[in-house]
């Protein structure tokens, strides 16, 4: 059958001329794996299931290609390396497949064992009663409210308008006089990713009053490979580090500042955190905090304030999933290029951890629009959908 005839696949989101909200990634889970596929770590440990598996659904006019893996195995950038190696083999270019650098040894085994400087996040780490207060608030909210996932599409013209407005607002911020006691001065630029974080953080705080003093912790996952090459890791051409090599940067602000200022203000806060926290020395220092926290409590550190709202981002744009070309796999296509994904989906399951507040940015499609998935309280999505419809 054609994909439009299938009751589930026909609902897979498609680009729209204006910002829009669609079904979430979990709606398509049955199309992404076999019914008895592994769902949790125990399913891998108690079986001969491989850590990565391929599932393909073919229609007369579309093909769905899904890879399933445990996050303990690889992250998005490692998955990108696997996809690119696969495409190289399809194209008959096996010589372009890079070696894997860490099956026998762990190149990150010494990370964080002897930091040379303190982490800038150390003073924000929750502990004792503050950590207990945060945990109680977090669990209480999860108990009373259910989660829901949606997919948001932001077309290229909308992204361009964000960039143009942000540039003007950033120039205005830079022209303001800075007092000796003022926070870090505004950066010289903000990226599209910074602006997306700012825009989505505003969406995630729409339920709060404009004058709210609620602390907002903006956490952004980043690829350790980029910060640690060549200090600990070899250049990609000499070896791909296939692992889950992800840390976070954390930026702190208040709801009133997110809601009451231009997006460039929040984007600047995010950019300054990235600049300060992604140096090799700070990555090493954060690894030290993480080692100590896991040894003491069995969990990684949490940064912020007890009453904070966490907004967590994972930007897959650099993985370039929308740029993969599967033309060589087209039957009868004689290796014709230009067969690229029209949509990238993320369907995940976790045990004992809610994805609420997380925003995977799935990437930029061929037209320049961004696909984003959001995880929010079910009752909050109506407010967000109304906001998106008015853009």
Query: Which residues does the annotation mark as catalytic?
Result: 71, 325
Q: How far is CA 346 from the centre of its chain?
A: 10
CA dist., res. 313 & res. 329, Å (int): 33
* Strand ranges, E, within 16-146: 20-23, 52-58, 63-69
Provide the edge-to-edge strand list for the sheet that holds 246-254: 20-23, 147-154, 370-377, 358-364, 309-315, 215-223, 246-254
Question: Of 44, 69, 124, which is closest to residue 303 (Cα–Cα)?
Answer: 124
Q: DSSP letter at 222?
A: E
Question: Of 74, 100, 85, 77, which is closest to residue 243 (Cα–Cα)?
Answer: 74
147 beta partners: 377
Q: Is residue 188 a contact partner of residue 272, using CB atoms and an 8 Å limit?
A: no
Contacts 24+ apart (CB under 8 A), 178-182: none
The encoded tokens of residue 21 equal 């909200």
């Amino acid at each position: 059958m054609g994909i439009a005839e299938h009751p589930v696949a026909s609902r897979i989101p498609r680009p729209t001329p204006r910002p829009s909200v669609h079904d979430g990634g979990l709606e398509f889970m049955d199309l992404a794996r076999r019914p008895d596929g592994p769902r949790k770590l125990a399913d891998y440990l108690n079986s001969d299931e491989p850590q990565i598996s391929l599932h393909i659904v073919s229609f007369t006019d579309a093909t769905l290609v899904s890879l399933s893996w445990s996050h303990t195995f690889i992250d998005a950038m490692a998955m990108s390396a696997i996809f690119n190696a696969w495409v190289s083999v399809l194209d008959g270019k096996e010589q372009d497949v890079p070696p894997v650098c860490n099956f026998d040894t762990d190149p990150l085994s010494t990370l964080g064992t002897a930091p040379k400087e303190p982490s800038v996040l150390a003073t924000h780490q929750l502990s004792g009663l503050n950590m207990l207060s945060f945990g109680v608030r977090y669990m209480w909210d999860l108990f009373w409210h259910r989660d829901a996932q949606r997919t948001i599409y932001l077309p290229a013209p909308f992204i361009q308008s964000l960039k143009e407005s942000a540039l003007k607002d950033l120039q205005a911020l830079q022209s303001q006089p800075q007092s000796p006691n003022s926070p870090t001065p505004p950066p010289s630029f903000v990226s599209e990713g910074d602006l997306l974080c700012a825009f989505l953080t505003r969406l995630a705080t729409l339920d709060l009053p404009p004058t709210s003093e609620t602390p907002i912790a903006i956490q952004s996952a980043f690829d350790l490979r980029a910060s640690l090459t060549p200090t600990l890791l070899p250049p990609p051409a000499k070896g791909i580090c296939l692992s889950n090599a992800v840390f976070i940067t954390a930026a702190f602000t208040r709801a009133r500042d997110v809601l009451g200022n231009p997006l460039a203000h929040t984007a600047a806060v995010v950019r300054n955190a990235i600049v300060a926290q992604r140096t090799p020395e700070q990555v090493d220092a954060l690894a030290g905090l993480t080692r100590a926290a896991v040894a003491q409590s069995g969990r990684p550190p949490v940064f912020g304030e007890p009453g904070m709202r966490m907004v967590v981002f994972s930007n897959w744009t650099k993985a370039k999933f929308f740029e993969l070309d599967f033309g060589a796999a087209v039957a009868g296509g004689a290796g014709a290029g230009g067969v690229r994904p029209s949509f990238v989906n993320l369907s995940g399951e976790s045990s004992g951890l809610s994805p609420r507040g997380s925003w995977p940015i799935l990437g930029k499609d061929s037209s320049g629009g961004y696909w984003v998935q959001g995880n929010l309280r079910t009752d909050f999505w109506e407010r967000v959908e109304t906001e998106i419809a008015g853009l």
